[in-house]
């Protein structure tokens, strides 16, 4: 079924210019993804000799984390456990006005329209460094015994796609959920134990340096995370960090 929508979208020429909302009509099909709807809108704008809306996307399969938009006040839109590219137009109503804006955080400056600079996440990961284990040739998958509970918790943390929804959802602009997921998925495995203390301190220090806010345990990050990363990871990160600090590593 076709539907007529009004898209109230944030337009901003560059990082230094003042932005504003502009509203455009668009005809979409209920089976389209949200990004496909934006593609149709951009085609309409180009045909009208207007500047298309800049937005990020890559895999369109919910695994790359680039399709980061705030839709009607919620990162990635109204559906839980869903990225923007997995959100379909059937969840909206004919004639509805949909408000689309970029992530709002000091550490995520707007580059243009809906595109923000999330290089701060990359720098946090880089601060963690590499593991020093000499793996040699690929070992047999069962040669290093790892407890089922540890393996599952590590895999769950590693599911983080670094989209930044946790930062956008947090009223403090905190990156604790993202940083803790990266620290946890390595810290729970034997391969990551050698640098565990140094990694925790370095990544937390970089997170603070980037200007992210403090965690006040509101829980909005977990609620809006498209991969449903748990708050338990923040507790693990805090334990790892304070252990490293007080052990003098």
Which of the four pLDDT bands, split at 50, 70 and 90, describes residue 247? Answer: confident
Same domain, 76 and 153: no
Question: Percentage of the chain surpassing pLDDT 70?
Answer: 96
| Residue 193 belongs to domain with CATH number | 1.10.1060.10
* pLDDT > 70? residue 147: yes
Same domain, 69 and 125: no
Q: Quote the number of domains for the chain.
A: 2
Chain segment 176-214, per-residue pLDDT in tens:
999 999 999 999 988 888 899 999 999 999 999 999 999
Same domain, 160 and 92: no
Chain segment 75-130, per-residue pLDDT in tens:
999 999 999 999 999 999 999 999 999 999 999 999 999 999 999 999 999 999 88
C-alpha–C-alpha distance, residues 208 and 155, integer Å: 26
Same domain, 100 and 167: no
88 phi and psi, to 5 degrees?
A: -110, 155
Which of the four pLDDT bands, split at 50, 70 and 90, describes residue 248? Answer: low
Structure tokens at 136: 């040699």
96 phi and psi, to 5 degrees?
A: -70, 145
Domain of 93 in residue numbering reads as 2-111
* pLDDT > 80? residue 144: no
Same domain, 96 and 137: no
Same domain, 197 and 85: no
Average pLDDT over every residue of 16-21: 96
| Residue 45 belongs to domain with CATH number | 3.10.20.30
Please give the pLDDT value at position 93: 96
213 phi and psi, to 5 degrees?
A: -80, 180
Query: Of 137, 193, 183, whose CA–CA distance to 160 is shortest?
Result: 183
Contact (Cβ atoms closer than 8 angstroms) between residue 106 and residue 173 = yes
Same domain, 78 and 105: yes
Average pLDDT over every residue of 162-171: 97
Same domain, 205 and 228: yes
Query: Of 1, 3, 22, 2, whose CA–CA distance to 11 is shortest?
Result: 22
Same domain, 183 and 164: yes
Which of the four pLDDT bands, split at 50, 70 and 90, describes residue 131? Answer: confident
Pairing of strands 110-112, 115-116: antiparallel
Structure tokens at 4: 């007529």
Same domain, 36 and 59: yes
- Among 127-131, 138-142, 158-162, 210-214, the range scoring the smallest mean pLDDT is 138-142
Please give the pLDDT value at position 139: 66
Same domain, 57 and 136: no
Contact (Cβ atoms closer than 8 angstroms) between residue 194 and residue 131 = yes
What is the DSSP secondary structure assignment for residue 85, as one 8-state letter? G
Instruction: Collect all residues with Cβ–Cβ distance below 8 Å to 143 and sequence separation of at least 6.
Output: none
Same domain, 96 and 143: no
Q: Pick the last residue of a domain from 85, 111, 137.
A: 111
* pLDDT > 70? residue 51: yes
């Amino acid at each position: 079924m076709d539907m007529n929508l009004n898209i109230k979208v944030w337009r901003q020429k560059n990082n230094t210019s003042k932005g504003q909302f502009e509203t455009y009509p668009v005809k979409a099909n209920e089976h389209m993804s949200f990004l496909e709807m934006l593609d149709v809108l951009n085609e309409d704008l180009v045909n009208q000799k207007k500047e298309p809306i800049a937005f990020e996307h890559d895999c369109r399969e919910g695994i790359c984390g680039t399709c980061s938009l705030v839709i009607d006040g919620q990162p990635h839109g109204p559906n839980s456990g869903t990225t923007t590219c997995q959100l379909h137009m059937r969840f909206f109503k004919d004639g509805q006005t949909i408000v689309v804006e970029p992530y709002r955080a000091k550490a995520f400056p707007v580059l243009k329209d809906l595109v923000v600079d999330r290089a701060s996440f990359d720098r946090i990961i880089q601060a963690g460094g590499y593991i020093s284990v000499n793996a040699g040739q690929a070992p047999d998958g069962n040669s290093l015994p790892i407890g089922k509970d540890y393996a599952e918790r590590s895999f769950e943390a590693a599911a983080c796609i670094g989209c930044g929804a946790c930062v956008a959802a947090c009223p403090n602009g905190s990156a604790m959920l993202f940083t803790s997921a990266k620290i946890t998925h390595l810290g729970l495995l034997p391969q990551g134990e050698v640098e565990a203390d140094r990694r925790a301190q370095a990544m937390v220090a970089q997170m603070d340096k980037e200007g992210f806010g403090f965690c006040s345990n509101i829980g909005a990050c977990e609620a809006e995370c498209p991969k449903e990363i748990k708050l338990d990871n923040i507790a693990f990160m805090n334990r790892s960090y304070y252990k490293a600090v007080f052990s003098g590593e």
